[in-house]
Amino acid sequence: MYNASQIRQDFPIFSSASPRAAFLDSAASSQKPEAVLKAMEDVYRGGYANVHRGVYAWSEDATARYDAARAAVARFLGSPTPEQIVFTRNATESLNLLAYSYGRTFLGKGDEVILTELEHHANFVPWLELARERGVTLKFWPISAQGTLELDALDALITPRTKLITFAQVSNVLGTITDPVPVVARARAVGARVIVDGSQSAPHMPVNVAELGADFFVCSGHKMLGPTGIGVLYGRAELLAAMPPFLTGGDMISSVTFSGATWNEVPLKFEAGTPAFVEAIGLGAAVGYLEKLGMGEVRAHEREMTAYALERLSEVPGARILGPLDAERHGGVAAFVIDRIHPHDLASLLDQRGISIRAGHHCAQPLHERLGITASARASFYVYTERWEIDALIDGIDAARRILRA
């Protein structure tokens, strides 16, 4: 049986800070279990040395751990080979790498890129810049009244000039879950490529990139129990091989002369300089922890927490829940607004009660503009979330309404 209370004991922050801290902001960044902290500490304390550079024992051990972390992430995501996993700083860097390296190489004036109205800025601004620089045409897949992305709306946008479709598998605001498989099928019909932003899916549900069929998939380590400063880019081998490097410098080269340079093999071609190998090792421990929990179990738990949160929020006078109301089509976030209470005021009052939520535009200003609001409040859930935290949230909202005389 899945036991969030027992799982919570694996996270030192809940005992050192407060065992009754209601942390409802995991969509921004998750807490870290002891296994991740220990894996990183073991490197720093017991055998730290740079990777790929030394022939002595510490360096070779660090390199082996780094390679093992890549293999663990590949297994976790269902990548056919570890070499198709590129380590970056975060999903934002992965998407910028794609816009820079793939976009500036293979897309040009008049080519169409389809993205959605619910994208995080990380999957929005790089394509705005590409459109400005290269004359690429951007088209926006609209959300329905329920906050979902419907395929008939996509069909109305796709043309023979469509070269790329990029979208979030799970919205970081609305929680909308979009199945990549039918999107990939439509893209293939016109020869287009597909990028899936898995920042809010890889940490929360089973993902197999080979089965999804997308050309690229990105996610961030810090949202999936891992440390900050480490992200993932999965790509089709032939596409990664054809793309130029994003950054140049040490370790991404095969040879350098006074007249030029040749590039290393993938994935090292995209990992210039000393990589965040300790962070990668921490991410390897994080995916190992998630595998032990079972991603099916993780998803089932979050679906239960989400359904309960949506139910309780629907009871709050003046509350407007954003996104689908069906937990089956909803990831582990619940965004909402309350009449006559600014989200920042609400979040501040909740913090005084030991309840952490997110308030603002959540790096999705175009989506909030589409919804006719400037900001929203967002509670988000993860492996350690318990029902009492959601009850505390509702009690805190009721108290805030009384304080602010809403």
Residues 6 or more apart from 45 whose CB is under 8 A from it? Answer: none
Name the nearest CA neighbour of 334 among 347, 349, 321.
321
Name the nearest CA neighbour of 14 among 29, 39, 32.
32
Angle between helices 277-293 and 34-46 (to 10 degrees): 150
Tokens 């069929």 locate to: 213
- Given a contact cutoff of 8 angstroms between Cβ atoms, the answer to whether 340 and 350 are in contact is no
Buried b (16+ CB within 10 A) or exposed e, 86-108: bbbbbbbbbbbbbbbbbbbeebe
Catalytic residue among 363, 373, 375, 406: 363
Report the alpha-carbon distance of residue 163 to residue 174 in Å, rounded.
Answer: 27
Name the nearest CA neighbour of 295 among 205, 201, 177.
205
Phi, psi of 404 (to 5 degrees): -90, 5
Active-site residue 363, yes or no?
A: yes
Catalytic residues: 363
